[in-house]
């Protein structure tokens, strides 16, 4: 298990200013401050004044410097579950929003999944991908037509090879994506997947993800899988692919700079 944690050392150092080994061995509540919490992460529109990571035995918290003493005081002698509730109340008083996700790191890709069913998106497949995008993001597509931005960026999109797709009769039915991780820890790449509703539970998502993971790990990168705490289908897919649950992350979001 420690080997899997170690692959994500850059994640823990970027988010929590702590090594993966220290996270793995930590017990109790650990709080530190970091001036980086005062800046917007790369590619994000929001500030993240508190970042935390919860394991079975520990809660590691990184916050803006002006909150460190107060957070230490209000979580003193609290259990991990109590501290999470305390931080949520603290955030509410500051007009902030909390999100918690399960965090998975890749251990070893499940070799039984047929990744050959999926292929990297090609330059010639713009129409197919635009049609797929409209189906999986109907609300966004109504507000901003994909043709308004996708065509000019499609060459770059295909070069990045973040979309591995499963086709059925020239229609994309499942495709991976990759969200930008704040502060972009080196070597880590977040994975996501969407499958058309009528084609779910047929193994297409696992095939697309397996192809994505195989390509990125061969490049020396480590895919990251996150999902909401109660998203059982996502958890099951992560475990099927070969991911291990390392802990739960908590991000506290602010729309404005905190001075």
Residue 247 is classified by DSSP as E
Q: Which helix (H) or strand (E) holds 194?
A: strand 192-195
Helix or strand or coil: residue 208? helix
Identify the pLDDT of residue 183. Answer: 65
Identify the pLDDT of residue 130. Answer: 95
- Where residue 184 falls among pLDDT bands split at 50, 70, 90? low
Identify the pLDDT of residue 42. Answer: 75
- Assigned CATH topology for domain 115-241: Aminopeptidase (3.40.630)
pLDDT tens track for 15-30: 899 999 999 999 999 9
pLDDT tens track for 112-171: 999 999 999 999 999 999 999 999 999 988 888 888 899 899 999 999 899 999 999 999
Q: Could you tell me the CA-to-CA distances from 88 to 40, 67, 70, 78 in Å, in that order?
A: 21, 14, 14, 14
Residues of the chain with CATH 3.40.630.30: 115-241
Please report which residue ranges of 202-252 form alpha helices under DSSP H. Answer: 204-218, 232-241
Spatial separation of the C-alpha atoms in residues 63 and 76, rounded to whole Å = 16
Q: Could you tell me the CA-to-CA distances from 20 to 6, 35, 246 in Å, in that order?
A: 5, 20, 10
Identify the pLDDT of residue 240. Answer: 97
Residue 233: exposure state from Cβ atoms within 10 A (0-12, 13-18, ≥19):
exposed
pLDDT tens track for 221-248: 999 999 999 999 999 999 999 999 999 9
pLDDT tens track for 49-107: 999 999 999 999 999 999 999 999 999 999 999 999 999 999 999 999 999 999 999 99
Identify the pLDDT of residue 257. Answer: 87
């Amino acid at each position: 298990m420690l080997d899997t944690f170690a692959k994500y050392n850059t994640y823990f150092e970027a988010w929590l200013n702590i090594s993966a080994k220290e996270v793995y061995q930590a017990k109790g509540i650990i709080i530190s401050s970091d001036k980086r919490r005062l800046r917007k992460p790369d590619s994000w529109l929001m500030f993240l004044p508190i970042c935390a990571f919860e394991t079975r035995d520990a809660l590691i918290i990184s916050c803006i410097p002006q909150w460190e003493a107060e957070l230490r005081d209000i979580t003193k002698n609290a259990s991990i579950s109590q501290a999470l509730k305390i931080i949520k109340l603290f955030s509410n008083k500051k007009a902030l929003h909390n999100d918690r996700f399960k965090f998975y790191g890749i251990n070893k890709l499940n070799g039984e999944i047929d990744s050959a069913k999926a292929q990297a998106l090609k330059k010639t497949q713009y129409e197919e991908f635009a049609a797929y995008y409209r189906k999986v993001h109907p609300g966004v597509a109504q507000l901003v037509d994909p043709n308004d931005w996708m065509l000019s960026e499609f060459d770059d999109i295909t070069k990045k090879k973040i979309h591995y797709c499963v086709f059925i009769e020239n229609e994309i039915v499942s495709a991976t994506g990759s969200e930008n991780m704040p502060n972009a820890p080196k070597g880590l790449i977040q994975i996501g997947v969407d499958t058309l509703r009528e084609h779910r539970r047929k193994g297409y998502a696992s095939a697309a993800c397996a192809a994505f993971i195989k390509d990125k790990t061969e490049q020396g990168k480590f895919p990251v899988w996150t999902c909401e705490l109660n998203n059982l289908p996502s958890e099951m897919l992560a475990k099927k692919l070969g991911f291990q649950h390392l802990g739960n992350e908590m991000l506290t979001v602010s729309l404005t700079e905190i001075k």
